[in-house]
Each structure stands twice: as C-alpha cells, then as structure tokens.
A and B are shown apart, each in its own frame.
Chain A
Amino acid sequence: MLKIKNLHVSVDDTPILKGISLEIKKGEIHAIMGPNGSGKSTLSNVIAGKEDYQITQGTIEFEGKDLLELSAEERAHLGIFLSFQYPVEIPGVSVTNFIKTAINENRKAKGLEPMPAKELLKLIRERMELLNMDKSFLSRSLNEGFSGGEKKRNEIFQLSMLQPKLAILDETDSGLDIDALRIVAKGVNTLRTPENAFLIITHYQRLLEYIVPDFVHVLYNGKIVKTGSKDLALALEEKGYDWIKEEVAI
C-alpha cells in the first residue's frame, strides 16, 4: 500500500529525515516511536502532503502512485488520513459543515453525488455514539476551545467518517485520559478491515495494548534505527531510548 524508499527531507536546508524506508501493507498496523524531535511528525506531514518541506531524495508510493506528485487534497482523495498531533482551531466553521464539506469533496473526487443529508446524519450519529461524543460538538466551531482530549477524539471522529485506507495517528493518544484512550482504541479497532492500514505514532506503549501493532519502528535522528514486534514497545517503555542511542553509536 505505502512504500517509502530512502526518503530524505529538509526544512530550510536542515536535514530532518535522513533516509527512511518503510513499507506498509494493507491490513497492517505499524507503530513508530522515538524521542522528541526525531522527525515523526515531519514524516507524517510529508506523507500527507504538507508543503514547505524539501524532499531531497527518495520516493513515496501509495498503491503504485507517486505521492510526491500529488497535492494534499489529492492524497486525501486516495484515502490517506492524518490525525494531527496539534489539530488546528478553525473559528466560524462548525464540525458538521466541515465534515459534510470534507465527505462531499471526497465523493466529488470519486465522481459521486453529495451524500444525502439523511444518510450523512445517520452516519454522524453512529460515529458519535461509537466514540461516546456529545451531540453538542456538532454545532461548535471546529476545535475552537476544545480541550486537548476533545480535539483528539474529534480527529478520530473525522477518521471514522472518512474511512480512509491509510490512517496516520500522530500522537492521538497524548492528552487522552484512560477512558478516552480506550474509546479511541475501540473506535480504531472497529474501523479496522483487511483492506486498510494504520501508522500509529506514539510515545507510550499503552495505546499499543489496545491496538496491537504488527511492527514497531524506532525513529531516531531522522532514521528508522530499529524495527521489531510489539515487544519492542514494551522494552522502550521500560528502558527508554538510551540503549538504542548506544546501539546506533556503535
């Protein structure tokens, strides 16, 4: 599904990602862990198509298409979704209108008619229930004044509405209380099919107890320095990153 080969990315001529290769197949769950500033969000943004990054080397393919040629919205239309580490507050645009616009823009890209209002409302209701969200969110301005946890839950709500093929969760668990974490995990697991895939960025292995990854990668200083099974996450939680840094130094 997603094939990243030898990806090098700089910001203002400072290299941030220094040769990343990663392949995610459908049905898989990958986790990326790594110290602050190692380049995890940069990698997610580059996959999702944020501008202002210089791709100095390497390729990203999604279902055989060269992603680097495509705009952020075109990538979204292919089924790539990014749950933001810091969701943006957009005053004046309600959650409902936003999700409606997003869904219909995605449908338009596929040559489909807008979703009938009734169907949309039904889907919204179902998803809000799944995520234990209060209906009052719908009429509020997108993320404006939302608590940290509410913002994250709203990201997962959008994910559940858009049903992407590849969902990247950039620290969606940070800021969630234990119950919310469980609800979000339940949501993700419900949405899981053999056809889609998840890339989960996290600092804590707790989320990975609920959403069990097939692979855990360690991103350090712009490189994937270790890949393992879910046990790697446990080891990291116990021992921190020092041993990895030492290994890398050798």
Chain B
Amino acid sequence: MEAFKETLLSSFIVFENQLNGQKKSELHKLRQKAFEAFEKYGFPTRKDEDWKYTNLKPIIKHDYKIFHPKEQKLQLDEARKYFLSETDTYRIVFVDGYYASWLSLTTHHQYDICTFSALINRYPEIADEYVGKLINHGDSFTALNTAFAREGAYIFVPDNKIVDKPIEILHFTTPHALPAFQQPRSLLVLGKNSRATVIERHISLSANPVFTNSATEVFLHTGAILDHYKIQTDHYEASLIDNTVYQLQGYSVLNLTTASLGGKFVRNNPIVKLIESMAEAHLWGLTKIDSSELADHHTSIEHIAPHCQSNELYKGIFGGRSTGIFNGKVYVAPHAQKTNAFQQNNNIVLSDKATVNTKPQLEIFANDVKCSHGCTVGQMDENAMFYLRQRGIAADKARALLLLAFAGEIVDKIQLPELRQYVKRIFNQKNHIDFDFDL
C-alpha cells in the first residue's frame, strides 16, 4: 500500500477527534461512511477504466503532509497579484486549507458568500439538506474529500437574487518543506431564478509538490444561472483533482469554462445532472500544456429529464511531452426524450512526444434524441503556416496567432473582460508571444 494511503488512514482518527461538537451531526455520519468507502477502494489504478490514460502514480507516490499549521503567512500584497484587480469582486480566500479572513471579502447581507465551516456551524440544517447529496462515494477521491471535509467555500443565493459582483474563490498553498495535501470542500446553492458568477483558482506558492483534491456540490434551482470559471494555471509541481457535481432543475443554466493552462497534473471531473426539463448545460474547455504536464477532462452529463440541452466544446493544444485526456460521457435516461446533446473535442499536437487520448462515451437509452459528438487530433496546419509566413509573419508568431485563433472560440466565451484578457495573456505567454490586439 502507498505510504500516503497509510498516512490518510491513520490521520482520520486524529482528524475526527478534533471535531468535538460535530460528532452527532449528519456530516459526521457522512464522513464515516465516506472514510469506509475510501478505505475499501483506495486510490484508483490504471486498471480502472476511468483512469486508464491517467497515471496517478507520480502524484500519490509522495507522502504528503495532511495537516498544516494555521499561520497567517500570506500577506495581502503577495496574494493581491492573483486577484482580479479591475473588477470589483467578493472573495473567499484560503491559505493552506484555512480561511484567510484578512484576504477575503465575504457577505451575509443578501446572500451568503462565506465558508464551508460557517455553513456547518451556523446553518446546520442547510448542511444537512445539501452536503453529500450529490457526491458519489463510489469515487475514491470524492470519498476521501468527504471524509476530511472541513473547509472550503459556501455560497447560498436565495430565490430571485442576482449576486452583484463576481465571486472569486482562491486556494493558496504557501511554501512548505514537505509535499502538501489540500482538500477543499465547497457547496454552492443558487435559489430559484438567482444568478451568480464564480471564479475558482488553486495557487501553489511552494516549490515542493502540492496535491489538491477538491470537491464541490452545486445546486441550481429552477431558473438559476451559474457562470462558473475554473482557471487552472498552477505551478509545475502542483496537481489538482477537481470533482464538481452540478444538479440542474428546470430552466436552470450552467455555463462552465475550464481553462487548464498549467500544473503538473490536472484532472477535472465535472458531473452534470439535468434532473428537470428545459435545463441547459454548456461546458467549454481550453487546455494548453507543455513539458510533462497532464490535463484530463472527464466530463459526465446525465440527461435524466426530457427536453434538456447539453453542449460541450473542449479544445486542447499539447506541446513537449504533455498528455491530454478527454473522456466525454453522455448518459440519456430511457424517458429523457427530446434530449439535445452536443459534444466536440478538438486537439492540436505540437510535438511528436505529446499524446492525446480522446473518447466519447455515449449511453443513450431514449430514442427521440439529438446527440452528436466528434473529436479531432491534428497538427499545426502547415498550409496556414505558409500563408502567414509568406506575408512576412515569423514562424513563431504565425504559430501563436493560429493557436490563439484556435483557442479564441473558448476564450471568447469568458464573459468577464478582465478574466478573458488574463486567460489570453497567460495563453500567449505560454506561446511566448504578445499581441497588441484582441482577436
């Protein structure tokens, strides 16, 4: 058994003992159950179909430190570099797994934009109603997260409220002498006809390995709209597993944009459950990685109710010895007629050492549905390159221009101008080019 798993197993008892006062709560029972599940399943291996192309070994080989001292190590001046600067936002900031009040801007006024621990302490009945209701304990990482669930973001928007500013959720890990493990746990509840924009980032400031196992449950009640941005531009020693489960009621809309532009190992598992008619989910993904980075998008769309729409467009650019994985599962239940499900995954491979595995996984049990899927893996278009170079545009700039154009379809989906510019800038930096215009 991995040393890391042993550490986790032995730490659970310590962790539990710290949680005096919560022992009788629903959450406590949930943690117990989740822990047992993790104990039973352990970490997945490449024998598991869902992890066939995603080698976890280099990540779980470290014996991570699980508990970190609560120190106010990170100063505002340092943290600020990672905030949106021109956009007024709410902020929920964590440092080494603890809530950092001095870096945050939260509210309880019209809506709750605060922390998971506040949810547990102040609103136990909401916690009982929502926490653990979407998460599947059959997955070892979500089970592990639930077992240790303690801190993360909590957002509750009551019916008919529109959150007036975007919400930034930032998880910092400060420099550590040892490899560090983080497990943020978050809950987002959007009431009927409410609306919110959420930006999520994980930022490692450590030169040592950092491994984050994040889990989030998101409830969109009737008519709610969520714009969710996951901006993954972390350090090359940082790894992330992100499990986010969305439940969409009638007429609700999810817009999820995932930009995976860096990090040693990034695995995204968005699970979208369309449980009532007329719900819509749009998933956009942009991956641009190099060296030996890995980015894996395992999406799962469950059309449980009829008359729902899902739309997935993931684009990836892979250089160096990087590895890209896209697995798009679309399940359509027997009575989910009139489902409209679209899926597309397009990839450009820039080097012969980079690999891409892409696979649609359709499980369609209804007959009156429109489902389409497609994937491409190609190289730079040499004719387009020649065309640009013939006009005097140097090869590296021509390549960057074509890549930015390829990515543009996703980048343009980012509604917040400052965030869009930021993603573009990081993207161009990865191509070592700066353009003096907007495409």
Contact = CB atoms under 8 A, between A and B. Distances in A.
Given A100-B437, A101-B397, A91 B387 contact: no
Contacts, number: 81
A73 B394 contact: yes
Contact of A106 (B392, B401, B402): B392
Interface string A51-85: 11000000000000000000111011100011010
A105 B408 contact: no
Interface of B: 381-384, 386-395, 397-398, 401-402, 404-406, 408-409, 435-437, 439
A105 B390 contact: no
A172 interface: no
Interface of A: 45, 48-52, 71-73, 75-77, 81-82, 84, 87-88, 90-94, 97-98, 100-102, 105-106, 109, 114, 158, 162
Contacts of B397: 101, 105
Given A101-B397, A101-B401, A90 B387 contact: yes
B389 A49 contact: yes
A48 B390 contact: yes
13 contacts: A48-B390, A50-B390, A52-B382, A73-B389, A73-B398, A76-B390, A90-B384, A90-B387, A97-B437, A105-B392, A105-B393, A114-B436, A162-B392
Contacts of B398: 73
B390 A101 contact: no
B209 to A, nearest CB: 37
Q: Which has the most chain A C-beta neighbours within 10 Å: B392, B397, B436?
A: B392
Contacts of A97: 435, 437, 439
Given A51-B386, A93-B401, 14 more contacts: A48-B386, A49-B389, A73-B390, A73-B394, A81-B390, A84-B387, A88-B386, A92-B404, A92-B409, A98-B388, A101-B401, A105-B392, A105-B397, A106-B392
Nearest to B401: A93
- Chain B at the A interface: SS class: helix
B410 to A, nearest CB: 11
Nearest to B404: A92
Nearest to A89: B384
Contacts of A101: 393, 397, 401, 435
A92 B388 CA distance: 14
B409 A72 contact: no
B385 to A, nearest CB: 9
B414 to A, nearest CB: 15
Nearest to B407: A92
A102 B383 CA distance: 17
A102 B387 CA distance: 11
B392 A49 contact: no
A82 B390 contact: yes
A76 B389 contact: yes
B394 A105 contact: yes
B405 A90 contact: yes
A-B residue pairs, 8 tightest by C-beta: A92-B405, A76-B392, A72-B389, A102-B391, A92-B408, A88-B387, A106-B392, A73-B389
